[in-house]
Structure 1
């Protein structure tokens, strides 16, 4: 994983709010994602992770607040934002009737890139799918299908990629394959915003982690910084560092306690 860049954030979010009817999904989210890093947005189901990604990828509009990607305002310049990003959702969006190579050629043609065949061959090699390129995507394993999906998302080399729960439903071996692919993206300079509910995934991949709970980010930092929020325990002179799971559960519990106390006083 790359060191945090010192230049302007690739993604900047300030005061983003979003409601659906009477339900406040996002309640004032602030977030900076440095260029060329992997930033994990960690939260339980319903925390608002996908809603935030949809706003950043111009698929939904915020009720309040501002957000920019690569310096482009998502509300004022959605076209420029779309040129700068790619989005991979929770389920692979490949055409299972086509071969892996044909899927990539199709995307390259839709993006009006010169020499789609060369683009497809390059992406197959980059994601270790050359030998499987002539097989129908429906015959791929879950990990191979997800790698192909990410490869399709990267056709045209967008500088920012959103991965929304990229390992949902995958077996442990397939998850490791996807993790390796995500690390390679950041090593190549791509900015990755990863949403996940899997604590080990954030622990394995992220340069920085933001914990989204009840529509707000309650803590943000590197893994080491978050672990320091809990005291380490010692047993027979052996120091035990808190796991990310322990940090997450403790912070979420504190936020719930604070919310309950506020309701009792009101």
Structure 2
């Protein structure tokens, strides 16, 4: 239980007459709280300690900035003289040899990771080269097919053009031949029912049947049968040194 000291009885002489524990309590009424604060500061400082990975990363950054070899751990004096007293203290506390082994192991792990990444990239590169080779082959095949198709179309187009030229020549020849034709209208009256015209001109070797003209008027005849008009139209060319013979049958 705390002792209460009134101001009426307090004096330097009376204060010195108190026991040591009471004087300590009077000067520092909360010693436990101060100890708690100190322990909290120590705990916070412990939490701020660098991990091995962070330590190795900072050491590698220092080595790279100083232009030192990758497998060389800077000395404590080098770290201290170049503004990294924190790293110098860690190396001094944990030991130069232990930090060297830690850094070498970290470098080996990084090299292993880099090697895995390089192998993975090589595998991807090989895969892409294979795909590129297949794509090139596909393009070459399509080009070859396109060239063949173009050649075939060109050949077919040439055949079509030749056929058109031949048909044009035949058409011109037929037009020239038709320009020399003469139209002849043949009328014939007879009592028969069927009349055919036969001829031997222009290669004509078959008979042409004449049609009955229903508009013709019947002509009176003493015979019982009345003649009818039968007509047809022929076209032929009259050429010199050729005679035309038309026979009505």
With structure 1 as the length reference, what TM-score do the two structures score? 0.17
More strand by share: 1
More helix by share: 2
Larger-gyration structure (1/2)? 2
Q: Between the two structures, name the one with larger relative contact order (CA 8 Å, sep ≥ 6).
A: 1
